[in-house]
Structure formats: C-alpha cells, structure tokens
Amino acid sequence: MFIDEVRISVKAGGGGNGCLAFRREKYVPRGGPSGGDGGRGGDVILVSNEHQNTLLHLRYNPEHTAQRGRHGEGSNKTGADGRSIEVEVPVGTVVYDDATGDRLYDFTHPGQRFTVARGGRGGRGNARFATATHQAPTEHEPGRPGEEKRLRCELKLLADAGLVGFPNAGKSTLISRISAARPKIADYPFTTLEPNLGVVELPDYRSFVVADIPGLIEGAHLGHGLGIQFLRHIERTRLLVHLVDVSEASGRDPIHDFEIVMEELASFGAELVEKPMIVVASKMDIAQDPARVEGLRRHAAQRGFPYFEISSATGLGIEKLKYAMAERVLASPVASSHNFRHN
C-alpha cells in the first residue's frame, strides 16, 4: 500500500526531578546538602532512509515517545539521561507542524537527521543551591517537560522526470518500456492508482528516475477522478513528459485533452506548468487519422514544446524519446546532483 501523507504525534522525554537530600555518613560532620540533578529527557529524531518508499509504517505507528530522564539521587548523583528515539522516514518527506502549518524540515538526501522534539532539562538538586550564607537549602527543581508536537508528514517522490496525461494515455506502458518498473497495465481508466518510479539506464552508465503519475481528467482539482492528490510527486521533477493519446479509440480530441491537463496542472500550482515539458503523441500504431496527429504537432509547436511520436507497443520512437528526456534532465538549470546519477 502506498501512503504519502500521515499525521503523527511525537513527545520528547521530560527531565528528571532534582533531589532533596543531605549527607548522613557517620564520620562526615556537617555533611551538608547532597541532592543530585535530574537527567535530561530523550529527543525524538527523524532520520531519512533511502530504503523506505512509503509512509505506511507511520500510519500504523503514529505515536512516538522518548524516554524521560531519571530523577537525581543523594550523594550528588545525577540521574541518567533518557534515551532518544529515531523515527525513519523516506527520502523526499516534508515535515510540517500540524498546528501552525509551518514547514519544519525537508528530507532530500539519505541519512539526514532532524531533532523534531527536544527533551526537557533535568531539575537541579538542592546541592546546587548551597551558598556560604545558605548552607542547608531545601530548594530543588522539578524536571522540565519535553517538547510535544503533532506533525504532518508529506512524501514527495524524488524523480527527475514525471509522466502526466489523461487516463489510458500510455504512461504506465511507456515507463515499463524504458525502465525495469512493472506497473499494472490494463485497458480501462485509472489502472494506475498510485505513483510508480522507474530508473532509466543509459549505455554510458548514466541513469535518471521517471515517475508515472495517475491520470488526470477535467475537474481533477475539484476532486474528480483521482483528483490531484498525487501531483505533489512531480513538484521536484525537472522535466514533465506530457503523453497525449492520438488514437481514435479514445473518442476525444487530442488538443482538448492536452489543454485540460495543462489547466489541471496550473490549478494545482507549484509552478508545474512552468517546468520544461515534452509533448508526446502516444499510440501511434493505432492512429488512423493523420489530421489528429498533425493538429497536436502544430499545437505543441505553437506552445514552444518539443514534440515526439511513439508507440510503446511497437517501440516506435521510444529510444529517441528516452535520450531526449535524458538530455533535458541533465541540462536542466534546476538540476540537483542527488537525482541524476552516474552508476
């Protein structure tokens, strides 16, 4: 199950109380105060793990509490600090304070650590309050409580290129042809119910990651179809590959489909429509009307988008498109080194 948004509660450990004690050894006259300090509470630390790819484990384990510090003891013994806990999240997770909506941290690399809740300080024992004029203090402090927060964790997949388009435009078939990904493929709308990632490898030992996003329909920003809940996964991409079904089997106009998807991308925001884009006429093997194909080609040219024609069934244009995607991902001015890899 793919879960890309969860709410969790984190609570750091409280500090231990300071101790009220006096030395009572037989041969120690005027022993004086000997109450030790309380230990510090443990922290809650979020750690990014590249082997996690969903927030499912947090859905079923939403509460995370660190250990409290032990209380101080006599003979000036300081209480032990509480153990901190680490909570693993996938790379690409954005953490928000659920109460305020503030973004707290964005995990973009494996092994990043963020202390999201800090443990409370231990209270001081009465030995800390002894002075020359106040030699038998009875003052001591309670431990401070640890931080407690309600968090919203949102996963945004780290991919270099994102495939967008209407349901059944051929996105899943394309990603299965250019990568080792094996998404479910069928001849009915919304076969893809969750994003799929595929690694595209090139002969020169380079590779890039492609994300297949569930199809968009008119009114997706209003919740129609699967809505636009998955578009967050292409916010980080450097290239959008817009597949348009040019076959007559769809029963729709390719240019109309293209403009509807563009409107839905604009409605989502995040400057998706401003990303570099390639327009791809798919299912060329069953396209019978040249006018439909030519109309889309001209429309793409008017919008200033590179245009390609492919058939995932026969392999027509697949290699050309793959290298065009790699070229643009590598040349993108917003490229981030953690995405495009040299194997």
pLDDT, tens digit (0-9, with 9 covering 90-100), for 100-113: 999 999 999 999 99
Query: What is the model's pLDDT at position 222?
Result: 57
The band of 51, judged by pLDDT with boundaries at 50, 70 and 90, is confident
Query: What is the model's pLDDT at position 157?
Result: 80
> What is the rounded CA–CA span in Å between residue 316 and residue 107?
39
| Residue type, position 146, single letter | G
Same domain, 87 and 167: no
Q: How many beta carbons lie within 10 A of that of residue 33, not counting itself?
A: 24
**CATH assignment of the domain containing 285:** 3.40.50.300
Query: What is the model's pLDDT at position 188?
Result: 41
Q: Is residue 72 a contact partner of residue 55, using CB atoms and an 8 Å limit? A: no
Per residue in 265-299, pLDDT (tens digit) is: 888 876 888 899 999 999 999 988 999 999 999 99
Q: Burial code of 237-249, b = ≥16 C-beta within 10 A, e = fewer?
A: bbbbbbbbbbbee
Mean pLDDT for all residues in the chain: 87
Lowest pLDDT segment from 59-63, 268-272, 314-318: 268-272
Our count of domains for the chain comes to 2
Query: What is the model's pLDDT at position 168?
Result: 84
**CATH assignment of the domain containing 133:** 2.70.210.12
pTM (2 d.p.):
0.75
Same domain, 56 and 165: no
The domain boundary residue, chosen from 135, 155, 175: 155
Same domain, 88 and 217: no
The domain boundary residue, chosen from 155, 174, 206: 155
Same domain, 150 and 213: no
The domain boundary residue, chosen from 127, 155, 183: 155
Closest alpha carbon to 97 in 136, 35, 149 = 149
Beta strands in the chain (DSSP E): 5-11, 44-49, 63-65, 85-90, 93-97, 103-106, 113-117, 148-155, 161-165, 196-201, 206-212, 239-245, 277-282, 307-309, 341-342
> What is the rounded CA–CA span in Å between residue 339 and residue 225?
30
> What secondary structure letter does DSSP report for 205?
S
Q: Is residue 104 a contact partner of residue 153, using CB atoms and an 8 Å limit? A: no
Same domain, 167 and 303: yes
Same domain, 145 and 232: no
Same domain, 177 and 100: no
Query: What is the model's pLDDT at position 67?
Result: 98
Query: What is the model's pLDDT at position 218?
Result: 66
> What is the rounded CA–CA span in Å between residue 125 and residue 122?
9
**Chain centroid, CA 180 distance in Å:** 22
Same domain, 75 and 201: no
Same domain, 235 and 209: yes
Residue 249 has pLDDT above 90, yes or no: no
Query: What is the model's pLDDT at position 190?
Result: 46
Q: How many residues does the chain have?
A: 343
Q: How many beta carbons lie within 10 A of that of residue 211, not counting itself?
A: 25
Contacts of 261 (CB under 8 A, 6+ apart): 164, 165, 166, 216, 242
Query: What is the model's pLDDT at position 31?
Result: 80
- Residue 307 structural domain: 161-342
Same domain, 237 and 191: yes
Query: What is the model's pLDDT at position 343?
Result: 42
The band of 341, judged by pLDDT with boundaries at 50, 70 and 90, is very low
Query: What is the model's pLDDT at position 264?
Result: 84
Query: What is the model's pLDDT at position 231?
Result: 79
Same domain, 107 and 165: no
Q: Is residue 82 a contact partner of residue 28, using CB atoms and an 8 Å limit? A: no
Q: How many beta carbons lie within 10 A of that of residue 142, not counting itself?
A: 16
Query: What is the model's pLDDT at position 277?
Result: 94
Per residue in 122-177, pLDDT (tens digit) is: 999 999 999 999 989 999 999 999 999 999 999 988 789 999 988 888 888 899 99
Query: What is the model's pLDDT at position 101?
Result: 94
Same domain, 201 and 94: no
Structure tokens at 113: 């650590």
Structure tokens at 195: 């994003």
Per residue in 71-99, pLDDT (tens digit) is: 999 999 999 999 999 999 999 999 999 99
Per residue in 193-234, pLDDT (tens digit) is: 577 888 888 887 788 889 888 877 665 555 555 556 677 888
Query: What is the model's pLDDT at position 90?
Result: 92
Exposed (0-12), middle (13-18) or buried (19+): which is 261, by Cβ within 10 Å? buried
